[in-house]
Chains A and B, each alone.
Chain A
Amino acid sequence: MDPKRRTRLMSKQRPFSCLLLFSVAAFMSRPVYAETKAAPKPDKAVQQEAQEINTLVSSLPAKSFKERQKLYDQIIRLGTAGLDALCGQLVKPGTGDDTSARLALRGLSYYVMRPGAPAAERELYVQSLHKSLKTGPDINVKAFICRELQLTGRAESVAPLSEILTVPDLTEPSAMSLLAISKHAAKAEVTKAMRAAYSKLTGEQASQQVTLIRSLAALRDRESLEAFNHAAASDNTNLRRMGLYALANLGDPSSEASLLEAAGSKMISESQRVTSWLWLYARRLKEEGSTDKAAELCRKVFETRTGPADGHVQSSALHSLYEVLGDGAIDDLLASLENKSVYVQAASAKLLMKIKSESVALKLATRLKNEDPKSRKAALEIIAARGDASVADTVKELLNDKEPAIRLQAIKTYSEVAKEHSLDALLDFVQKGSPDEQKAARDALIRLPGEAVSKQVAEKLKTASTAAGKVTIIETLQARNARKQVSELLPLASDKDSKVRGAALKALKVLASPKHVSALLKLLGDTSPEDLDAVIAAIASAGSTAGQDERLAPILEALAVPDSKARLPLLKVLSRIGGKEAIVPVLEEIKNKDEEIQDAAIRALTEWPDDSAVEPLLKLATTSENLIHKVLALRGAMRVITAADIPAETKTRHVRTAFAAAERIEDKKMILGTVGSIRHSHSLKFAAGLVSQPELRAEAINAVIRIACPQGGNDTGLLDKTAYDVLKGLVETVADENAKEKIQAHLSSFPQGDFANLAWNKPVRSAPRHQGRNVPKLAVDGIANQSSVWFGDGSPAWFEVDLQEAVKIDTAHVYFYYSDGRYYQYAIEVSTDQKTWKKVVDRSGTTELCTARGHPHRFDPIEARWVKLHIYKNSANPAVHVMEIKVYAEGTAPKTLTKFKPNQELRKPGKPPAAARKAAAEPKGKVVNPSITPYALHKKDENGKVTSGIPEEEFQTLFDGKTLKGWQGSLNGYFAEDGILVCKGGRLFTEKEYSDFVFRFEFKLPPGGNNGLGIRATLQGNAAYAGMELQILENTAEKYAKLHPYQFHGSVYGVVPARRGFLKKPGEWNSQEVIAMGHHVKVILNGEVITDVFLDKVQPMDGKAHPGLKNRKGYVGFLGHGDRIEFRNIRIRDYAMSPPIPKGPQHNVAPPGYTALFNGKDLNGWKGLVGDPKKRAAMTPEQLSDAQKKADEIMRKGWSIEDGVLVFGGKGQSLCTAKDYADFDLYVDWKIHESGDSGIYLRGSPQVQIWDPKQHKKGSGGLYNNSKNPRHPALIADNPIGEWNTFYIRMVGENVTVYLNGKLAVDDVPLENYWDRKIPIYRSNQIELQNHGNKLYFRNIYLRELPH
């Protein structure tokens, strides 16, 4: 425990009485709670439940609602003990992470309140909350509990919550909870508690008073009237306002004067608030039956608050008056319509619109006769919104008002109140009114509801006297979608007024259906030329949604008339309709002898909307001898071809036909000018074929460019082999610079010269499909890099390319994603029918790493149309990533590939630049390793060389010099020779796994030699990622000039760079020592520290995932890269964790490897406590020595030895080891009495906690003084008070692991520096047994120093 807080916490709370348990159990009916009926549980059971709670809570938040409910059910079943343990996990904010406990408690609150939950669950839960409300460690925790009680509390929670009502900072949360509880039949108790609490407060606790007044106000407690009055007179602004609010909400008539006075306050913000509460007060008065009084108040305010900025106050007074009086306020509202404030006008108007009463309409109607036009208009607007049919006649009179604005409003209002009866009047305006009135009338007409209205409107067409009137009626019918009135519209299509005709035809176009076609056709004959197009459009669109047949029949019938002139417009109609049926009569007419009609038929054909005209047009172009017809047909054909929805191949075929038919050079040019819109290799070939014709050359080149090159936007242009060949052939000969530039630009986007790759841009299939945007197509896009990859979301996977024709192939080249040193296992099959497959490549067992060059495979020529890549495994992750797959026909693969030896990585580094060479040859020791921090601590031997300092005899030899006994892995890649282990390649691992150790070995490198030392590695996977690889590399070689810093010798590969310059020359023996203790990894090369790192404090430099950094154990081994490397004197010192309970022959005799700090007889090896590490460091040696002498005296008084046990009497100071320790394993046996408290200080700092878990609900062993890191143990493992307990503590770097009585209590948690929170714990300092003012017992204190 924090020594500073010692005294305060010494006054402890008694363990919770078991009486409550009984009372809770008494409520229970369900048998599941039987276990909680048992009388006080033995402590062990409580501990067990605490552990169980931990397990359950750690599963939250659950995956599903169902699972969650199940967990909550299990928690509830743990009963009081479990719930108490859960509440006990709440901590003061900033002192630990209790997220899961809070989450669980909120979940439980909801759970026990779920509809249909048994009452006993809630009661059980609430009891635990009550306890926590008493014992919670902090105000914030208690506030949290209040919030849970707000949800779950009922009458029984009133008492515990009332107790904290006056506690500063808890008033608010407890009052809120009580208010919530008051809604559930506990109003009287809550009110009483609030009153009592309020009476305890004084003026100095104003903010708490405000809270309680707020709460009593909400409860509308009449007996608090005096308190409210008192508060309302307070000088404290918040209290005064809350008092006023309370008075208003209470609605006691005696408060009116104070409220009115405050509403007129000079403090504007107060006046504003209180004014608003006046209406609340009025409402309450009304509720009490004092309607008159309430109305009086509203009127009073309305009449007195008439300032220029008080419009809104009057508005709200009116609202309240209406609330109070209802229809009784109508006269007030009407009177307010003329108020000078716009606010008031608007408010009264809006209210009048809302009031249902008939009397409003009548009273408004009288206002329509007022002199003041403003008044008339306001009344009209309100009547319109109300829709009062009863006053329609009065409104009608205003249609003739002398004020234009009134007339406009009257039109609108009249249509709203008279509905269909307003038709005549509206139509009158439509015909005779001003433009504004016409518009208003038409808008009103359009919105009049009912089908009958359309009919009546149409009727008016007969009597309408003006053209403008008719037009408006027609437009109205159109807007009303009056399909039933088409027959009335038809005659108007031949009206003598052109505007009427136009409007009618426009309306017919929208409204006519196929059945009107015949009638419309009749119009064709005698329509004036200017209307012809409109008639044709109306026929063509008549009911176009209903299919073509219905329209066609009457047209075909009409075509049968002998008068050929009458057929002319019909042909035009057909050309608008289009389709295969309509074309038949047109083709007939082409044969007509009458030139005029023949011409019309040909023109109709050229305007045909679909591709059914293509063949006839081409035929015409080929056969016609009339030049004009020929040209028309060609143009029409090209228009239809390019617009038609047919395959590009077909289009090109048609174009060729058209071209063949074209005789004049202009027509050929026209065709070339149009063909550019067909973007296909077929059309491209056609255009390219004409480049050689001098007179067409320019147009042909233009066409080629339009077809092949990108045309802006996202257009990529044509990217196939044809396009490439055409453009390549063209680029040199084109004279036009502009054209040349375009061609060159597009050529640069082709994968140059690799068109022999048959897979390029071919259709592909894959399984699984792909993730994100990484579609399969990217693996045949000609781009073999890591940003253009098919990303198959899982393996095994397959990927299939359709070469589109069977070809004899002999090479396949696969590129996998490569940059993290992975390998793929795969096979390639080919087929000609997609049914029988032949395997041409089998790499299902390879571990060859992927590279940027990919894997080329050459095989015997074989016929194939489909090429399929099966991927069995990706060594890096479960997905598959293929950058590219290329396939070549026999003998066409690029020369580089035929030279390339398959499956072998070629490395041909060029000469590195001078700067890089210089960097590689850096002088010795100059490179600073950023990972070596001031936290480093090194031991040196007599020669000044750094060493772990561990005597040689403690090491175990791993290599016997003759055989590979004790090793596993690539046993063929290594051999023993004259006491030397020689590597040829492959990976050689120890047979045993090691967690913490010191590894010593010697090695000799050839120039450029490459190997690696794997530690905590796995047998499978890449040791650099799945474990850790400490580079072994002769890195002065030129080929390594461009290495990343984290690749040099001694680096933790990819993670931490090593210092450079301490390797001996190639061919000389180096000696290296590797310390791996917990997160601490240190590499000592030839007596120099080159790497010293705490892995939990660094991020990998290469940005990749290194899950192996978290491995706690694994194999040690050599990671061969194919170079001959020699090793010797390979030995290891294993520092794995010791058993958590030591096995010594007798007390105070250390187990092997350990030293007993306490000899069982005297205090040798111990000293007294002087200050703290900070103070000691500030002392001079003399001061320290003096202080030590005094401290030792105190020590001898306080500490004694009784029968091999170190006893502290309860008075004195902590006991300290004489020596300082850095990293170590420590055993301590300890024993305390009830409420006892102590701790083990590590490196002079508090502490591994020892205390009475019954008192603190947490077990011993926690790092109690941590603030950022966890401070409590994972479990309670204490033996019953009075029995011995055993700690096994390991400390490495900052991190501490604690076993208590064989159970893991703290797992690898940093111990913070209590004395100076800004820095980490001291690297080395004394160990102390803490004095906490009570009797303590220690024995069996054993220590083993760990290498660092």
Chain B
Amino acid sequence: MNKEQTSRREFLTKSAAAFSFSIVPRHVLGGPGHTPPSEKLTKAIIGVGGMGKNHFRYEGTKCVAVCDVDEARLKTAVKRGGSGCRGYRDFRELLEQPDIDIVHIPTPPHWHALISIAAAEAGKDIWCEKPMARTIAESRNVAETVRRNGSIFRLNTWFRFKSKFYSSGTTAFPLKKLVESGILGWPLKVTIGGKQGFTWKHGHRGKPNLPPQTVPAGLDYDMWLGPAPYRPYNGGRVHYRFRGYWDYDGGGIGDMGQHYLDPIQYILNKDDTSPVEIEADAPPQHPFVVGTWRKIWMRYADGCELLLDGVGNIDRPLLEGPNGKVWRGFRSDIPNLVRKLDAFPDPEPQVTNFTEAVKTRTQFALNADNGHRSCTLVNLAKIAIRLGRKLRFDPVKQEFIDDPVANDLVNEPMRAPWTLNGEPV
């Protein structure tokens, strides 16, 4: 292991860490005969196909390595990475490299958990794509491993702390403030769907009965499948199309779910819990292939409700409580709501700069713990769609109540040799 490079890592974090006062002047380290440590953090991107391309541009870091199981894509990505960017076919080899600070994981979702865990075990910080994981057990395991290793983790969805909260015409911040103010009363109902400004990408539907095809040269299909069950190769399964199969993701709810639901968990102050009842209105699903759905309903223990509208015909406010409602664009039936809110304190500030979070070892606003909980909503929805009946969930044990079939989907086993850490297989 290269001692210089790794101490650079400690240096970078130390120089800005919460418990230190002395900023080491650069020249002390950068004397003659020394390579001065770059102040820029380095990153590696694992999975450089569809979404991975976007991860080059996130600022504050320099891309030093990329990884993909598709040779052609890897080649393009190495070029895109510019000088000094190395290519790897196996992420485990990439994680052994000491000069990588942050690992970006824009792979299909069935790989998110395993790579996140391996990255945390390698002492890397993590920037993972949504949805956080394919099952509840997986994201739970990620949260646990990340916490244990002290990694800084963020999910690549922004709406908890930045940007208009999808097309709702408002950021999450004033909604959070409103909920904290108690003006709306309690419990609250949240509706997200077309009429509230949200669109589910229902186009991510797979095809049943794919005939086997020859695996194209340059694609490591076994590695692409990874922990997912073995199925014969078909081009309709991989790149871009994986969202149409339960083995890898869950269609529109998998793609957009965490974008929409993570801010809701934050707004409702549910970051450490999950709903207790879930029901989906959906046509019967194929065992492997994701179909469409119409409505998903969830209820928390305190009576807060969540309605996901996949049809776009539910004309309800975005947020409604016993004392008032808020529609898209922060319109409300409460007069002078914005002025009234002025008198209330702002919600706790969030850490929203990832590189700063990495340097100071502080939790990012959207981290593995609350990310696991918001991803749980996505996975609950998926299970409800697949089973087509009402389910009861225990948010403490994080399993369904008296329902072995549903619990079978809480922790879908991984194909050997891949395993989670210490969870029952």
Residues of chain A whose beta carbon lies under 8 Å from any beta carbon of chain B: 60-62, 65, 68, 93-94, 97-99, 102-103, 105-107, 109-110, 113-115, 140, 143-144, 147, 150-151, 169, 172-173, 175-176, 179-180, 183-184, 207, 210-211, 214-215, 217-218, 238-239, 241-242, 245, 248-249, 268-269, 272-273, 275-277, 279-280, 283, 307-313, 315-316, 319-320, 337, 341-343, 345-347, 349-350, 373-374, 377-378, 381, 405, 446-447, 479-481, 510-511, 544-545, 1268
Contacts and interface: CB of A to CB of B under 8 A. Distances in A.
Contacts of B122: 268-269, 272
Most buried by A among B6, B93, B422: B422
Interface string B120-144: 1111000000000000000000000
Interface string B208-224: 11111000000000000
B345 A446 contact: yes
A113 B405 contact: yes
15 contacts: A99-B209, A106-B287, A147-B229, A147-B287, A151-B405, A218-B425, A238-B416, A280-B422, A308-B6, A312-B123, A319-B147, A343-B361, A349-B19, A374-B21, A481-B344
A345 B17 contact: yes
Contacts of A1268: 211
B148 A211 contact: no
A1040 to B, nearest CB: 43
Interface stretch (B8-16, B162-170, B315-323): B8-16
Consensus secondary structure, chain B interface: loop
A647 B99 CA distance: 71
Contacts of B13: 342-343
B230 A343 contact: no
B143 to A, nearest CB: 13
Given A61-B284, A150-B408, A269-B93, A343 B150 contact: yes
Given A103-B284, A218-B425, A545 B21 contact: no
B92 interface: yes
Closest 4 CB pairs of A and B: A94-B211, A312-B123, A218-B425, A61-B284
A756 B416 CA distance: 80
A374 B343 contact: no
Given A184-B404, A312-B149, 10 more contacts: A94-B212, A103-B287, A151-B405, A239-B417, A272-B121, A280-B421, A309-B9, A312-B121, A313-B149, A342-B361
Interface of B: 1, 3, 6-7, 9-10, 13-14, 17-21, 92-93, 95-96, 98, 117-118, 120-123, 145, 147-151, 208-212, 229-232, 283-288, 335-336, 340, 342-345, 361, 387-389, 402-405, 408, 413, 415-417, 419, 421-422, 424-425
Consensus secondary structure, chain A interface: helix
A309 B98 contact: yes
B336 A545 contact: yes
Contacts of B405: 109-110, 113, 151
Nearest to B403: A115
A320 B147 CA distance: 11
Given A115-B403, A283-B422, A374-B19, A309 B1 contact: yes
A309 B123 CA distance: 8
Contacts of A381: 18-19
Contacts of B1: 268, 307, 309
B417 A68 contact: no
B287 A510 contact: no
Nearest to B286: A103
Contacts of A309: 1, 6, 9-10, 98, 123
Contacts of B231: 140
B387 A110 contact: yes
A172 B425 CA distance: 12
Contacts of B285: 106
A1097 B212 CA distance: 25
Contacts of B389: 65, 114
A724 B231 CA distance: 69
Most buried by B among A102, A173, A217, A381: A102
A308 B10 contact: yes
Contacts of B230: 143, 169, 172
A1118 B90 CA distance: 71
A214 B19 contact: no
Given A272-B95, A308-B10, A447-B345, A179 B425 contact: yes
A155 to B, nearest CB: 14
Given A103-B284, A107-B284, A113-B405, A172 B415 contact: yes
A315 B148 contact: yes
Contacts of A179: 413, 425
B58 to A, nearest CB: 23
Given A342-B17, A510-B342, A315 B149 contact: yes
A167 to B, nearest CB: 14
A65 B416 contact: no
B361 A346 contact: yes
A308 B3 contact: yes
Contact of A110 (B95, B388, B415): B388
Contact of A311 (B92, B123, B287): B123
A491 to B, nearest CB: 22
Contacts of A346: 17-19, 150, 361
A62 B284 contact: yes
A479 B209 contact: no
Nearest to B291: A61
Contact of A347 (B150, B336, B408): B150
Contact of B150 (A93, A106, A315): A315
A695 B413 CA distance: 88
Contacts of A114: 389
Contacts of A62: 284
A480 B422 CA distance: 49
Given A61-B284, A68-B284, A99 B208 contact: yes
Contacts of A345: 17, 19, 361
Given A98-B209, A308-B10, A316-B149, A218 B424 contact: yes
A440 B123 CA distance: 35
B78 to A, nearest CB: 21
B148 A319 contact: yes
Contacts of B149: 312-313, 315-316
B211 to A, nearest CB: 3
A99 B286 CA distance: 8
A102 to B, nearest CB: 6
A248 B422 CA distance: 9
A268 B96 contact: yes
Nearest to A273: B121
A377 B14 CA distance: 15
Contacts of A373: 21
B255 to A, nearest CB: 22
B425 A245 contact: no
A312 B151 CA distance: 7
Contacts of A544: 336
Most buried by A among B145, B340, B343, B417: B417
B174 to A, nearest CB: 16
B41 to A, nearest CB: 14
A136 to B, nearest CB: 15
A107 B212 CA distance: 24
Contacts of B18: 346, 381
Contacts of B340: 545
A61 B274 CA distance: 31
A106 B425 contact: no
A435 to B, nearest CB: 20
A269 B96 contact: yes
A93 B413 contact: no
B123 A102 contact: no
A276 B421 contact: yes
Nearest to B147: A319
Contact of B417 (A61, A94, A214, A341): A214
Nearest to A208: B416
A405 B21 contact: yes
A238 B145 contact: no
B150 A479 contact: no
